[in-house]
Amino acid sequence: MKKHNFNAGPSILPQIAIENTAKAVLDLNGIGLSLLEISHRSKDFQAVIDEAVALFKELLNIPEGYQVIFLGGGASLQFCMVPFNMMGKKSAYLETGVWAKKAAKEAKYFGEAVTVASSSDKNFNYIPVGYTVPEDADYFHITTNNTIYGTEIRTDYDCKVPLIADMSSDILSRPVDISKYALIYGGAQKNLGPAGVTFVIVREDLLGKVERPIPTMLDYRTHIKEGSMFNTPPCLPIFTVKETLKWIKSLGGVEAIEKMNIEKADLLYNAIDSSKMFVGTAEKESRSLMNICFVMKDEYKDKEDAFMEFAKNRGMIGIKGHRSVGGFRASTYNALPMESVQALVDCMMDFEKDNA
């Protein structure tokens, strides 16, 4: 039976990226050695990282003056590195979920971190609007996609202070005007590759402005200077990132990917909205294209476990909602085919037909 992978992360990857990584684990480009056992300073791995950076810059049209680096530690380490490198005395945060709250918490170790708005009053089911970002803030931080609650910021904000974004779960799902951002970061394990590598896109001229000393490993300038190789980088995940970027390019780039993502999301949201049994949890104007969250209507709540079992028997993997929200979550990342979304819709309709 075919499996349909809706896991929220680590999540589905392009099959070609998985296959090419598996080949490289056995023998990298015919050199007779595994990707896992070569030196990161060899010309063979240097070619891997160079290609990954070049593809990143090409696919996102990254302007001159920005650097792309690969680090460890996940987005969670960036919650600390961002204020360490970018915050003098004050920063501003938009609170749209758990990860946004965690990022703001780390910033408070370095000074004043102002929450300009929050959607916690409705369990983060919408993106706040109509707030003011203090102009004396060193930066304004947003989390563009909220995996737990199924909301997403799909526009590039105009901001009078440097804009920083955690794009862990929606990077390369749509075109982005990089010039509007001071820094973008994210863990790879959604749209880019396996867990273990973190990407950072940073405007280099904004670094080195804080007065505090920064430990060597936590200074972005260290990793820019050393080409992401100050210490041994996560070689295998970077290789898979490179293969995933090649796959995105082969499909026509992020513009083509965005079109596919809209079509997938429309199919599932339309099924939810027309259902007698299911209902979406995020406000419509804030809905994510990456994580589609829904629950049973009140009169059918007692059938949630039965639907989970029914869906599992139809090959649906990873659709259980986060424990803080409940219900169901279908993560429709770049590599998820339309076939899988249609299979989930068919599964929902068949269950409803027999149970509503």
User: What's the distance, CA 247 to chain centroid?
Assistant: 17
Report yes or no: 61 and 111 within 8 Å, Cβ to Cβ: no
pLDDT at 324: 85
Tell the residue number behind the tokens 């299911």, with chain if given: 278
pLDDT at 285: 98
Q: Indicate the average pLDDT of the chain.
A: 97
Of the pLDDT bands very low, low, confident and very high (cuts 50, 70, 90), residue 1 is confident
User: What percent of the chain clears pLDDT 70, i.e. is strictly above it?
Assistant: 100
pLDDT at 254: 98
Q: What pTM does this model have?
A: 0.98
Active site residue 190: yes
pLDDT digits (tens, 9 = 90+) for 143-165: 999 999 999 999 999 999 999 99
Three-state DSSP class for residue 76: helix
How many Å apart are CA 104 and CA 94, to the nearest integer?
Answer: 9
Of the pLDDT bands very low, low, confident and very high (cuts 50, 70, 90), residue 274 is very high
pLDDT digits (tens, 9 = 90+) for 283-309: 999 999 999 999 999 999 999 999 999
Which one of the listed residues 2, 43, 44, 99 is annotated catalytic? Answer: 99
Mean pLDDT along residues 263-277: 98
Mean pLDDT along residues 75-103: 98
Domains parsed from the chain with CATH numbers: 15-251 (3.40.640.10), 253-355 (3.90.1150.10)
Which one of the listed residues 138, 166, 170, 219 is annotated catalytic? Answer: 166
How many Å apart are CA 62 and CA 253, to the nearest integer?
Answer: 14
Q: Which tokens hold the place of 223?
A: 């990793």
Which one of the listed residues 57, 90, 121, 190 is annotated catalytic? Answer: 190
pLDDT at 81: 98
Report yes or no: 146 and 137 within 8 Å, Cβ to Cβ: no
Whether 214 has a pLDDT exceeding 90, the answer reads yes
Report yes or no: 140 and 133 within 8 Å, Cβ to Cβ: yes
